[in-house]
A and B are shown apart, each in its own frame.
Chain A
Amino acid sequence: MRLGLICLLGTTVLVGGCNDLPGKPPPNPAPVIPANTSAGFEAIYAERCAGCHGNNGVLGAARPMRDADYLQSIPRETLFAVTRNGVPGTRMPQMGGDAVDPIPDDVLHKFIEGMVDTWGVLKPGEPRPSRGIAWKHVPGSGDASRGAAIFEAKCVYCHPAQMKASAAYDLDRPGTVTDPLVVGSVVDPFYLRLVSDQHLRSSVVYGRADLGMPGAAGPFRSPDGKEVAEPLDAEAVADLVAYMISFRDEWPTRAEKKDGAP
Chain B
Amino acid sequence: MRMPRFLSRSAAMIDDRTGLITATQGAMYHRVPRNAKWWYVFGSATLMFFIIQLVTGVLLTTLYVPSAAEAYSSLVYIDEKVPGGWMLRALHGWSSNAMCVMMLIHMTQVFLHGTYKYPRELTWVAGTLLCLTTLALAFTGQVMRWDSNAYWGLGIGAAIVDRAPFIGNWLRAIVLGGPDISGATLSRFFALHVFILPGAAIALIGLHLMLVLKNGISEMPKPGAPVEPETYREEYHARIKKTGVPFFPDAARRDMVFCGAMLIVLIGIAAWFGPFGPGPVPDPTIIEVSPKPDTLFLWIFAVLALLPPNTETFLLLAGPPVIIGFLAALPFISPTGERAPSRRPLSVVILVAIVTALGVLTVLGEYEPWSPRMRAWTSDTTPVEYVKHRSPLELQGALQLQYAQCRNCHSIGGIGGKRGPALDAVATRLSWDQLVRQIQQGGGNMPAYGKNLSSAEVEALVAFLSTLDDQAQPALIPGAMEAQPARDESPTVADASAAP
Contact = CB atoms under 8 A, between A and B. Distances in A.
Interface of A: 14-16, 18, 21-25, 27-29, 46-52, 54-55, 59-62, 91, 93, 100-101, 159, 174-175, 180, 183-186, 188-191, 193-195, 211, 251-252, 254, 256-262
| Pairs of residues from A and B, 7 with the lowest C-beta to C-beta distance, nearest first | A184-B391, A23-B274, A15-B84, A61-B398, A262-B452, A91-B399, A190-B456
B489 interface: no
Contacts of B278: 28
B382 A61 contact: yes
Interface in B408-460: 449, 452-457, 459-460
A194 B456 contact: yes
A191 B396 contact: yes
A201 to B, nearest CB: 14
Given A54-B381, A190-B460, A194-B456, A262 B404 contact: yes
Contacts of A256: 454-456
A191 B272 contact: no
A41 B405 CA distance: 24
B496 A195 contact: no
B376 A262 contact: no
Contacts of A28: 76, 79-80, 278
Contacts of B288: 101
Contacts of B394: 184
A48 B377 CA distance: 8
B391 A61 contact: no
B83 interface: yes
Contacts of A29: 281
Interface in B361-407: 375-382, 384, 387-396, 398-400, 402-405
B381 A93 contact: no
Contacts of A50: 378-379, 381
Given A47-B375, A195-B392, 9 more contacts: A18-B83, A23-B270, A46-B379, A100-B285, A184-B393, A185-B392, A190-B460, A251-B487, A262-B453
A128 to B, nearest CB: 24
Q: Is the interface of A mostly helix, strand, loop or mixed?
A: loop
Given A14-B87, A25-B79, A52 B496 contact: no
B377 A51 contact: yes
B399 A52 contact: yes
Contacts of B452: 260, 262
Contact of B402 (A15, A18, A51, A183): A51
A252 B388 contact: no
B68 to A, nearest CB: 18
A52 B402 contact: yes
B271 interface: yes
B274 A189 contact: no
A194 B401 CA distance: 13
A109 to B, nearest CB: 19
Contacts of B282: none
13 contacts: A18-B84, A28-B79, A50-B378, A52-B382, A61-B396, A100-B285, A100-B286, A184-B393, A188-B392, A190-B456, A191-B391, A195-B392, A262-B452
B310 interface: no
A191 B281 CA distance: 41
A72 to B, nearest CB: 24
A185 B391 contact: yes
Given A25-B275, A28-B76, A91 B396 contact: yes
Contact of A188 (B271, B286, B393, B453): B393
A59 B400 contact: no
B379 A51 contact: yes
Contact of B378 (A52, A194, A254): A52
A190 B399 contact: no
A175 B453 CA distance: 28
B86 interface: yes
B382 A60 contact: yes
Contacts of B240: none
A61 B395 contact: yes
A235 B382 CA distance: 35
B378 A61 contact: no
A47 B453 CA distance: 25
Contacts of B488: 251-252
Contacts of B455: 190, 256-257
